[in-house]
């Protein structure tokens, strides 16, 4: 079954608890952390994850768009993340391995993220220990951008690699996922869809979440 992960980047941060409750029909809650260096935007960090943890039992999918994430992954785990994903472009291969090991030592799930220009093969060194691979379908940094349909061959290539090497690994897409683009993602082999604006701009949020399941 396809899982939906609403991104709170499109929520009203002054009414975050209300906006988390509005997406309680979904599977994961996607939390975008941006440092203004890895991406040209700044969002939220550890204290906000702590506060979110206190008001929901939803599975917290924390997407770190920060440089050298190994410095902070343990603190995001302690704050209440269930899954922490780190960008393969954000540090050396050795340090990304180290970040994954630190997340595992905290008893949490770890995943890796690929920017649009990063090939599928960049996930290979981490595939056997990743719980999830995230393929960006926009340039990371902002909600509400146009879906990059040309990422679908990469999603399909990763689906094949995952089926061969680690079938339990999930395959997530993030950026521009909406009723008109979700089916292409699912057909290419994604099983977790992040959606920010498509969920939060909908008049009927539960119906929209259902619609995105394809
Ligand atoms: C972008 C973030 C996304 C963003 C998606 O850097 O990683 O999670 O919130 O927003 P939409 O669904 O509006 O493209
Ligand atoms: Zn994200």
E strands, 35-131, in order:
59-65, 83-87, 109-114
pTM over 0.75: yes
Residue 68: left (phi > 0), alpha (psi -120 to 50), or beta? left
Residue 85's pLDDT band, with cuts at 50, 70 and 90, is very high
Ligand 1, atom 7: closest residue by C-alpha: 140
Average pLDDT, whole number, for the chain?
98
Q: Is the CB of 185 under 6 A from ligand 1?
A: no
Looking up residue 110, the CATH number of its domain turns out to be 3.20.20.70
Question: At which residue do the structure tokens 């990763």 appear?
Answer: 158
Our mutation pick for probing the ligand 1 site, out of 19, 35, 194, 200, counting the most ligand atoms within 8 A of Cβ, is: 194
pLDDT at 110: 99
Residue 213's pLDDT band, with cuts at 50, 70 and 90, is very high
Residue 51's pLDDT band, with cuts at 50, 70 and 90, is very high
Element housing 173 (H / E)? strand 170-174
Q: Which domain holds residue 56?
A: 3-212
Handedness of CA 90, 95, 100, 104 (dihedral sign): negative
Active site residues: 32, 174
Ligand 2 centroid from CA 63, angstroms: 5
Closest ligand, as measured to the CA of 7:
1
Total domains in the fold of the chain: 1
- Write out pLDDT tens, residues 94-133: 999 999 999 999 999 999 999 999 999 999 999 999 999 9
CA distances from 127 to 12, 38, 51, 82, 183 (A): 35, 23, 31, 18, 25
Closest ligand, as measured to the CA of 178:
1
Percent of the chain beyond pLDDT 70? 100
Residue 87's pLDDT band, with cuts at 50, 70 and 90, is very high
Q: Is the CB of 206 under 6 A from ligand 1?
A: no
């Amino acid at each position: 079954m396809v899982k939906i992960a609403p991104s709170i980047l499109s929520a009203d941060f002054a009414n975050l608890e209300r906006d988390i409750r509005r997406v309680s029909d979904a599977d994961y809650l996607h939390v975008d952390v941006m440092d203004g260096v890895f991406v040209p935007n700044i969002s939220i960090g550890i204290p906000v994850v702590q506060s979110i943890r206190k008001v929901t039992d939803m599975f917290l999918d924390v997407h770190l768009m920060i440089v050298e994430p190994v410095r902070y992954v343990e603190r995001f785990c302690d704050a209440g993340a269930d899954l922490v994903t780190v960008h393969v472009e954000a540090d050396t291969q050795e340090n990304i391995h180290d970040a994954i090991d630190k997340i595992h030592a905290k008893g949490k799930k770890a995943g890796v993220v690929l920017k649009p220009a990063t090939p599928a093969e960049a996930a290979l060194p981490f595939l056997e220990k990743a719980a999830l691979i995230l393929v960006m379908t926009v340039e990371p940094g902002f909600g509400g951008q146009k879906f990059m349909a040309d990422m679908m061959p990469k999603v399909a290539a990763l689906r094949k690699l995952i089926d061969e090497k680690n079938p339990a690994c999930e395959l997530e897409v993030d950026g521009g996922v909406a009723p008109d683009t979700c089916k292409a993602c699912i057909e290419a082999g994604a099983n977790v869809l992040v959606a920010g604006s498509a969920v939060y701009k909908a008049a009927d949020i539960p119906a929209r979440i259902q619609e995105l399941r394809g």
